Amino acid sequence: MERAIIEGVIKLIEDGVPLAELSIERVARTAGVGKATIYRRWSGKEAMFVDVLRTLEEPPAELPGTSMRDDLIVLVEHIRRRGLNMRSSAILHNVFAQMKSLPKLWDAYHKTVIDPQRRVSFEVLRRGVETGELREDVDIVLANELFVGPMLVRSVLRPDAPLDEDLPTRIVDLVLEGLRPAE
C-alpha cells in the first residue's frame, strides 16, 4: 500500500504537478487508496514527500573505517553519485527546486535526510582529531563544509561541471593538506 502511494506521488510529479498543488486527496485518488490510508501512515504532505524523497536517495554510504581520509572519500563520493542522479533525474531536480519555496518540507528533508548524513561526517572528523589525522583546533562544522561544498557546487550549482570519478579523492586530499597537523 505504501509503495503504491509513493509511486502515485512520483507519477504526479512526473506528470508536472507542482508540489504545492499535490493534495492528499489527489495522491489518494492516483494511488487508488482512501485519504485515511495516507493519514494512517503520514501526518501530512511534508512527511509523505520526505518519504518519497528518501526512496529516491541512495542508501547511506558504508564507511571502510580504515582512516579518516578513506571515510571522507566515501562520503564525498556519495554526494557525487547524488549529483549524477540529480542531473539524470528531472524529477529530483524539479522537486529540489520546488522544496526551497516550501519551508516545512525543506526543514523536514533536512531533519530526516541531510542532518543524519552530517552527523556521520562530524563523527568521522572527530575521529580524525582523536587519531591525529586532523589538527585539534579544526572547526568540525566548517571542515565538513570544506569537504562537501565543492561537490555540492559542482553537482547543484554548476550542472555543466564534470563530476569525474576521481573528484572525491582530489577534493579530500586538497582540503586535508591544509587541515592536517604540522609534521
Side chain identity at 47, as an amino acid letter? A
% of the chain with per-residue pLDDT over 70: 96
Closest among 173, 165, 180, 171 to 153, alpha carbons compared:
171
| Domain region containing 106 | 59-179
Q: What CATH number is associated with residue 68?
A: 1.10.357.10
Closest among 60, 62, 41, 63 to 50, alpha carbons compared:
41
Angle between helices 2-14 and 90-99 (to 10 degrees): 90
Query: pTM of the predicted model, to two decimals?
Result: 0.81
pLDDT in tens, 50-63: 888 788 777 788 99
Q: Are 137 and 75 within one domain?
A: yes
Q: Are 34 and 90 within one domain?
A: no
Q: What is the pLDDT of residue 95?
A: 73
Report d(CA 95, CA 109) in Å as an integer: 11
Q: Are 82 and 159 within one domain?
A: yes
Q: What CATH number is associated with residue 15?
A: 1.10.10.60
Q: Are 14 and 68 within one domain?
A: no
Q: Are 68 and 139 within one domain?
A: yes
Q: What is the pLDDT of residue 31?
A: 93
| Predicted confidence (pLDDT) at residue 89 exceeds the cutoff of 70 | no
Q: Are 16 and 93 within one domain?
A: no
Domain total in the chain: 2
Instruction: Mean pLDDT check: name the lowest of 21-25, 32-36, 69-73, 165-169.
Output: 21-25
pLDDT in tens, 112-167: 888 999 999 999 999 999 999 999 999 999 999 999 999 988 887 787 889 999 99
Q: Are 63 and 50 within one domain?
A: no
End-to-end Cα separation, the chain, in angstroms? 59
How does residue 18 score in pLDDT terms, banded at 50, 70 and 90?
confident
C-alpha cell at 102: 516550501
Higher-pLDDT residue of 92 and 63 is: 63
Q: Are 67 and 156 within one domain?
A: yes
